[in-house]
A and B are shown apart, each in its own frame.
Chain A
Amino acid sequence: AQSVAQPEDQVNVAEGNPLTVKCTYSVSGNPYLFWYVQYPNRGLQFLLKYITGDNLVKGSYGFEAEFNKSQTSFHLKKPSALVSDSALYFCAVRDGDSNYQLIWGAGTKLIIKP
């Protein structure tokens, strides 16, 4: 079965420090991987995706993610955290049995402290 795991319910980082939000996946074929962010009382915003090619993908707001096939991971990173990055982050993978459906992780709450 296809699945996505976000092992941390919450990540706390000091402003200016690098941040990592972890995601691992399990799919039957080639993975299509996504990160979304949800700010309080807002809808989800697309951050970045990995489809093929370079393992390091860059996205919005200075975020990037590293695809690691051997570890089946797709961790979200940012070199220097901002207080405004505090939000709920979701990792998602495309369901290989469906052209468009996404399988969602449980979400990780990121808190950046000044």
Chain B
Amino acid sequence: SAVISQKPSRDICQRGTSLTIQCQVDSQVTMMFWYRQQPGQSLTLIATANQGSEATYESGFVIDKFPISRPNLTFSTLTVSNMSPEDSSIYLCSVAVQGRTYEQYFGPGTRLTVT
């Protein structure tokens, strides 16, 4: 498995500002994923991030709103830009470990509240 950390663990932000969430993995991984989750609900995939290429965004999510960086095989960031209260959610980073038949491992999440 992989050990994943996220920073910050939680934050309260004002409308119109931006927040960058960091995801760090203890080993090199092929793919990283960014999800959004409302408490008690299922996961919604925001984008898939490959090292050295542009992130692939799911329907309803755009790069201008959720820019992603993936500078190396152990690190990624997700920025939530120009935030509104609707962006209040839990943001999860996950990784797919090469050779481990596709299961994903998750970070502890970042709980974001926009006021």
Contact = CB atoms under 8 A, between A and B. Distances in A.
Contacts, number: 51
Interface in B78-115: 92, 94, 96, 101-109, 111
Interface residues of A, number: 23
B106 A90 contact: no
Contact of A94 (B43, B102, B107): B102
Interface stretch (A19-27, A63-71, A77-85, A105-113): A105-113
A99 B102 contact: yes
A17 B38 CA distance: 31
Interface in A27-61: 32, 34, 36, 41-46, 49, 51
A109 B40 contact: yes
Interface of A: 32, 34, 36, 41-46, 49, 51, 88, 90, 94, 99-102, 104-107, 109
